[in-house]
């Protein structure tokens, strides 16, 4: 079945450093979504990418969708303590009925 | 507030108990989901309902029984659970269950099986 792999599992950074998490799918995706889950909270939708090679920005966050639509990345520039949480990618396969499959998540901690 | 409400927020139950988790969405969405989130594991999709019909059942043990009486409500009935079933159970909804629609999550029910 479809798998969505996300690395790294954990990332500890000093405040002000950059952070990147990577997402890879075993199958071609119709679209990919990113969610953030704060400690003790629930996943909250951040953004969706649909087009091959698409790049979207939200302030210090940059999201990319690969040309082959099988991988994606989230990059945070100059992390802040408010960025702490787990970032999940979630992809919809073009071959498996469109169900949303989540990656394992990358847990980000930021030291002030 | 995401428009998806789950109750209870916390639940402790014995292995012989029967309990139910409730989810309600006020967003007018057609699809609703149950996810299980265990420590150190990805979100596991359990069930998907679209317009009150189950469209996905990911080999979930029969001790978990979903019910969708209408498009705004979703239940997860629990009976004879095991300690390894302890997890955060998240309900979500989306406009449709396919295509380019985002999922809105409830705050989850933290379940502990003793």
Q: Chain B contact for A103, CB < 8 A?
A: yes
In chain B, the percentage of residues whose pLDDT exceeds 90 is: 76
pLDDT tens, position by position, A1-18? 668 999 999 999 999 999
Interchain proximity B105–A44, CB inside 8 Å = yes
Interchain proximity A42–B99, CB inside 8 Å = no
Best-predicted range by mean pLDDT among A3-7, B13-17, B23-27?
A: B23-27
Q: Chain B contact for A45, CB < 8 A?
A: yes
Specify the pLDDT at position A98: 66
Size of interface A-B (CB pairs under 8 A): 56
In chain A, the percentage of residues whose pLDDT exceeds 90 is: 85
Query: Can you say whether residue B107 is alpha, beta or left, with left for phi > 0 and alpha for psi between -120 and 50 degrees?
Result: alpha
The tokens for B49 are 């309902």
Nearest chain B alpha carbon to A47: B102
Interchain proximity B56–A100, CB inside 8 Å = no
- What's the average model confidence in pLDDT over B86-112? 92
Res. B89: pLDDT tops 90: yes
| Chain B positions in Cβ-Cβ contact with residue A88 (cut-off 8 Å) | 42-43
pLDDT tens, position by position, A69-99? 999 999 999 999 999 999 999 998 777 666 7
Interchain proximity A92–B98, CB inside 8 Å = yes
Q: How confident is the model at residue B86 (pLDDT cuts 50, 70, 90)?
A: very high
Q: Which of A24, A21, A36 lies closest to A71, judged by CA? A: A24
Beta-bridge partners for B18: B79
pLDDT tens, position by position, B59-74? 899 999 999 999 999 9
Q: What angle do CA A3, A7, A10 make, to 5 degrees?
A: 130
The DSSP bridge pattern shows strands B109-113 and B87-94 to be antiparallel
pLDDT tens, position by position, A44-61? 999 999 999 999 999 999
Specify the pLDDT at position B62: 94
Specify the pLDDT at position A2: 66
Interchain proximity B90–A43, CB inside 8 Å = yes
Q: Chain B contact for A86, CB < 8 A?
A: no
B85 phi, psi to nearest 5 deg: -80, -5
Nearest chain B alpha carbon to A9: B40
Specify the pLDDT at position A88: 96
Specify the pLDDT at position A1: 65
Kindly report the average pLDDT of chain A as a whole number.
Answer: 93
Specify the pLDDT at position B97: 82
| Rounded Cα gap, residues B49 and B68, in angstroms | 7
| Chain B positions in Cβ-Cβ contact with residue A92 (cut-off 8 Å) | 98-99
- Of residues B99 and A96, the one with the higher pLDDT is B99
- Of residues A10 and B96, the one with the higher pLDDT is A10
Catalogue the E-assigned strands of A1-112.
Answer: 4-7, 10-14, 19-25, 29-37, 44-49, 55-58, 61-65, 71-76, 85-93, 100-102, 106-111
Cβ(B105)–Cβ(B4) below 8 Å: yes
């Amino acid at each position: 079945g479809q798998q969505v792999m996300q690395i790294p599992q954990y990332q500890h950074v000093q405040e002000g450093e950059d952070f990147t998490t990577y997402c890879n799918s075993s199958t071609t995706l119709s679209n990919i979504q990113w969610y953030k889950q704060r400690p003790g909270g629930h996943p909250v939708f951040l953004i969706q990418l649909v087009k091959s090679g698409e790049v979207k920005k939200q302030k210090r966050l940059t999201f990319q969708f690969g040309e082959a639509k099988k991988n994606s990345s989230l990059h945070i520039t100059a992390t802040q303590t408010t960025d702490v949480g787990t970032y999940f990618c979630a992809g919809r396969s073009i071959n498996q009925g469109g169900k949303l499959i989540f990656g394992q998540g990358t847990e980000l901690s930021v030291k002030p | 507030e995401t428009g998806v409400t789950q109750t209870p927020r916390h639940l402790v139950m014995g292995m012989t108990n029967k309990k139910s988790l409730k989810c309600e969405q006020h967003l007018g969405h057609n699809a609703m989901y149950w996810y299980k989130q265990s420590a150190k594991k990805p979100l596991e999709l359990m069930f998907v309902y679209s317009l009150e019909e189950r469209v996905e059942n990911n080999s979930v043990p029969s001790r978990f029984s979903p019910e969708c009486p209408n498009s705004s409500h979703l239940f997860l009935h629990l009976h004879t659970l095991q300690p390894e079933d302890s997890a955060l159970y998240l309900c979500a909804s989306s406009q449709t269950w396919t295509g380019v629609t985002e999922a809105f999550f409830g705050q989850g029910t933290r379940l502990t099986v003793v």
